[in-house]
A and B are shown apart, each in its own frame.
Chain A
Amino acid sequence: MSTHGELEVVAVEGLTKRYGRRTVVDDVDLHLTAGSITGLIGPNGAGKTTIMSMLLGLVRPSAGRGTILGHDLSRPADYLPDVGALIEGPAFFGNLSGRGNLEYFARLGGHDRSGIPAVLDLVGLQGREGDSFSSYSLGMKQRLGIGAALLSNPKLVILDEPTNGVDPAGMRDIRAMVRRIAADGRTVLISSHLLAELEHICDRVIVLDQGGLRYSGSLTELPASRPEVILLRGSGQSDDEALHRMLSTQGLTVERRAEGFAVDVGEIDPAQLAGRINRNAAESGIHLVELHHQKQSLEDRVLDLVGTGSRS
Chain B
Amino acid sequence: MSTSTSTRTEVVQFSSPVRAKPAPALARAFVAEWIRLSSKRIWLIALSATVVYSAVLTVVMINTAPQRAPAGISIQALGESGGGTLAVRTAAAFTSVLILAVFVGMSAGSFARGTWRASLLQQPRRLTLAVGTFGARIAIGAVIVAVLFVAGMVTAYVVAPGQGIDTGSWLDDTSLRMAVDDFLGVMVFVIGWALLGTLIGILTRSVAVGLGVGILWAGPIENVLGDNLTFGSHWFPGLLLRYVVAPETATVTGATLALRLALYAVVGVLLVGVILRRRDVSS
**Interface, chain A (partner B; CB < 8 A):** 1-4, 7-9, 11, 13-14, 26-31, 33-34, 49-50, 53, 56-60, 66-67, 69-70, 76-77, 80, 82-85, 87-96, 100, 103-112, 148-149, 151-153, 155, 204, 212-218
Q: Is the CB of A57 within 8 A of B28?
A: no
A-contact 0/1 string along B1-31, CB 8 Å cutoff: 1111111111111100101101101001101
Interface presence of B121 (CB below 8 A): yes
A29 in contact with B124 given A88-B117, A112-B19, A112-B20 (CB within 8 Å) = no
**What distance in Å separates the Cβ of A125 from its nearest Cβ neighbour in chain B?**
17
Interface residue from B11, B120, B281 paired with A67 (Cβ < 8 Å): B11
Interface presence of B230 (CB below 8 A): no
Max chain A C-beta neighbours (<10 A), residue from B5, B114, B115: B5
Interface presence of B228 (CB below 8 A): no
Q: Is the CB of A77 within 8 A of B10?
A: no
Interface residue from A14, A30, A69, A104 paired with B12 (Cβ < 8 Å): A69
Complex: A46 Cα to B84 Cα, angstroms = 65
Q: Is the CB of B1 within 8 A of A27?
A: yes
Interface residue from A77, A151, A213 paired with B124 (Cβ < 8 Å): A77
Q: Which B160-202 residues have C-beta < 8 A from chain A?
A: none
Closest to B8 in A: A3
Interface presence of B35 (CB below 8 A): yes
A95 in contact with B39 given A3-B7, A14-B2 (CB within 8 Å) = yes
Q: Is the CB of B11 within 8 A of A3?
A: no
Q: Is the CB of A29 within 8 A of B280?
A: no
Q: Is the CB of A91 within 8 A of B118?
A: yes
Q: Is the CB of B8 within 8 A of A155?
A: no
**What distance in Å separates the Cβ of B40 from its nearest Cβ neighbour in chain A?**
12
Contacts of B11 in A (CB 8 A): 8, 11, 67, 70
**What distance in Å separates the Cβ of A302 from its nearest Cβ neighbour in chain B?**
15
Interface residue from A11, A50, A108, A212 paired with B29 (Cβ < 8 Å): A108
Contacts of B31 in A (CB 8 A): 107
Interface presence of B249 (CB below 8 A): no
Q: Is the CB of B282 within 8 A of A88?
A: yes
Interface residue from B5, B122, B280, B281 paired with A217 (Cβ < 8 Å): B5
Closest to A209 in B: B1
Contacts of B36 in A (CB 8 A): 93, 96, 100, 104
Q: List 29 A-B contacts (CB under 8 A).
A: A1-B9, A7-B12, A13-B4, A26-B1, A31-B4, A33-B6, A53-B282, A57-B120, A58-B117, A70-B12, A76-B124, A82-B14, A83-B121, A87-B117, A88-B114, A89-B114, A91-B115, A92-B115, A92-B118, A93-B115, A100-B36, A105-B118, A108-B122, A148-B122, A152-B122, A153-B17, A155-B14, A212-B1, A216-B5
Contacts of B23 in A (CB 8 A): 110
Contacts of A152 in B (CB 8 A): 122
**What distance in Å separates the Cβ of B209 from its nearest Cβ neighbour in chain A?**
19
A2 in contact with B32 given A70-B14, A105-B119, A216-B3 (CB within 8 Å) = no
Q: Is the CB of A28 within 8 A of B10?
A: no
Closest to B112 in A: A91
**What distance in Å separates the Cβ of A119 from its nearest Cβ neighbour in chain B?**
13
Closest to A11 in B: B9
Q: Is the CB of B17 within 8 A of A91?
A: no
Complex: A110 Cα to B24 Cα, angstroms = 9
Q: Is the CB of B6 within 8 A of A2?
A: yes
Interface presence of B113 (CB below 8 A): yes
Complex: A96 Cα to B33 Cα, angstroms = 12
Interface residue from A58, A66, A151 paired with B280 (Cβ < 8 Å): A58
Complex: A187 Cα to B17 Cα, angstroms = 16
Contacts of A14 in B (CB 8 A): 2
